[in-house]
């Protein structure tokens, strides 16, 4: 049995109970993840006059529109921060969360053509939109940094905590998205429902308003409930890192991480279970 040592045996059998996640295999296919990411980015900017400049151009136009509308028209309390800066600093991390969420939730459907033709670890498909969201975020973040300096703010060492909050935003999107993906396979209706959930989620987070409103209007006893939403911690945290308002890392951040991690683990199992049947019903 000398040669059986280095040939592996693949066993195919009906899926029952928990499907193992097989992280080792996922690691083996890491190149594919990067190739697919690169394909999406490169494919998106082919045949455009400005090409990759659009990565910066999109967020730039967004920022200008936002400044025009909110800088002049709407007046919401923003803790002394110029409103465009106040809103943009929250829209970016929220966008990181929401595009991770929607991309992950529809990943099985979006890639069903590939999934029905060739085998690869399916967990790659939800990771792809998350990485893609990070790429887009990085470009927009450069614009945001420019804005921060232009308005005369100087971020201190707090900015080193930024990855802590960004990772939480992406993980929350991924975790919820994985659960959603496992249901969307059976009920396509959920794809339409999702955009309303994202909208509601934005209003449940201090994106266009300040979280201090909650304390002012409802009283401080509502804060712990409000902060069960991890995105509240994310948005307030990002503002704290860049602008010095909001809330830095505290016990709620640790709590959010624990909850989101458990949610993520469960979501991964739910996803792997759903992934085995999508080929048959999609």
Partner 1 sequence: MSELKSIRVDGLGKCYRIGAQRRKAQTGIVALRNSLMAPLAYLKQKMTAATEEETLWALRDVSFDVRPGEIVGIVGRNGAGKSTLLKILSRITDPTAGHAEIRGRINALIEVGTGFHPDLTGRENVYLSAAIHGMRKAVVDAHLDDIVEFSGVAKFLDTPVKRYSSGMTVRLGFAVAAHLNPEVLLVDEVLAVGDADFRKKSLGKMPGVAASGRTVLIVSHNMGAILSLCTRAILLEDGRLVADGVAQEVVSTYLSRGATHSGEAHGNEMLRPGQKLKIRRLRALNVQGNVAGEFQKSRGVCIEVVFDVLEPGRGYVVNLQLFSLEFGCILTTSSWDSDVDSGAQRRWEEGRHVARIMLPTELLRGGEYWVKATSAMPGVSVLDEMDEELRFVLMDSDSPLAKHAEGRRGVILPILAWDIRRDDEGRTTKKGGV
To partner 1, the closest distance from the beta carbon of 116 in angstroms equals: 6
Six-digit token string for 186 = 């059976």
**Binding flag, residue 280, partner 1 (CB under 8 A):** yes
**Binding flag, residue 14, partner 1 (CB under 8 A):** yes
Closer Cβ to partner 1, 7 or 251, answer by number: 7
Q: Residue 14 and residue 142: Cα distance in Å, rounded?
A: 49
**Binding flag, residue 43, partner 1 (CB under 8 A):** yes
Six-digit token string for 269 = 């199992």
- Binding segment for partner 1 (CB under 8 A), chosen from 40-48, 71-79, 156-164, 228-236, is 40-48
Burial class from Cβ neighbours inside 10 Å (0-12, 13-18, 19+) for residue 40 reads middle
To partner 1, the closest distance from the beta carbon of 105 in angstroms equals: 19
Q: Residue 129 and residue 102: Cα distance in Å, rounded?
A: 8
**Binding flag, residue 11, partner 1 (CB under 8 A):** yes
Largest CA distance in the chain: 78
- Binding segment for partner 1 (CB under 8 A), chosen from 9-17, 81-89, 127-135, 153-161, is 9-17
The three-state secondary structure class of 216 is helix
**Binding flag, residue 31, partner 1 (CB under 8 A):** yes
**Binding flag, residue 188, partner 1 (CB under 8 A):** no
Region class of 205: left (phi > 0), else alpha (psi between -120 and 50), else beta: beta
Using CB under 8 A, list all residues that contact partner 1: 7-15, 28-29, 31-32, 35-36, 39, 42-43, 46-47, 114-120, 186, 276-277, 279-280
């Amino acid at each position: 049995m000398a040669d059986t040592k280095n040939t592996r045996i693949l066993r195919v059998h009906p899926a029952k109970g928990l499907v193992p996640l097989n992280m080792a295999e996922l690691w083996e296919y890491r190149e594919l993840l990067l190739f697919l990411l690169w394909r999406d980015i490169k494919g998106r900017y082919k045949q455009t006059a400005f090409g990759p400049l659009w990565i910066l151009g999109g967020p730039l136009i967004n920022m200008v529109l936002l400044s025009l509308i909110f800088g002049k028209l709407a007046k919401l309390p923003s803790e002394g921060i110029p409103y465009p800066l106040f809103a943009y600093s929250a829209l970016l991390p929220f966008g990181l969360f929401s595009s991770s969420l929607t991309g992950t939730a529809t990943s099985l459907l979006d890639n069903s053509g590939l999934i029905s033709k060739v085998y690869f670890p399916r967990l790659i498909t939800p990771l792809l939109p998350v990485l893609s969201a990070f790429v887009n975020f990085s470009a927009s973040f450069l614009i945001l940094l420019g804005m921060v300096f232009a308005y005369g703010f100087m971020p201190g060492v707090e900015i080193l905590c930024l990855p802590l909050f960004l990772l939480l935003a992406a993980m929350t999107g991924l975790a919820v998205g994985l659960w959603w993906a496992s249901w969307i396979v059976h009920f396509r209706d959920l794809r339409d429902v999702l955009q309303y959930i994202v909208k509601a989620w934005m209003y449940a987070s201090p994106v266009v308003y300040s979280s201090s409103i909650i304390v002012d209007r409802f009283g401080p006893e509502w804060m712990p409930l409000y902060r069960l939403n991890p995105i509240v911690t994310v948005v307030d945290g990002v503002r704290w890192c860049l602008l010095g308002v909001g809330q830095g890392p505290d016990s709620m951040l640790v709590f959010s991480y624990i909850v989101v991690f458990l949610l993520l683990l469960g979501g991964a199992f739910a996803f792997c279970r759903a992934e085995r049947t999508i080929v048959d019903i999609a």
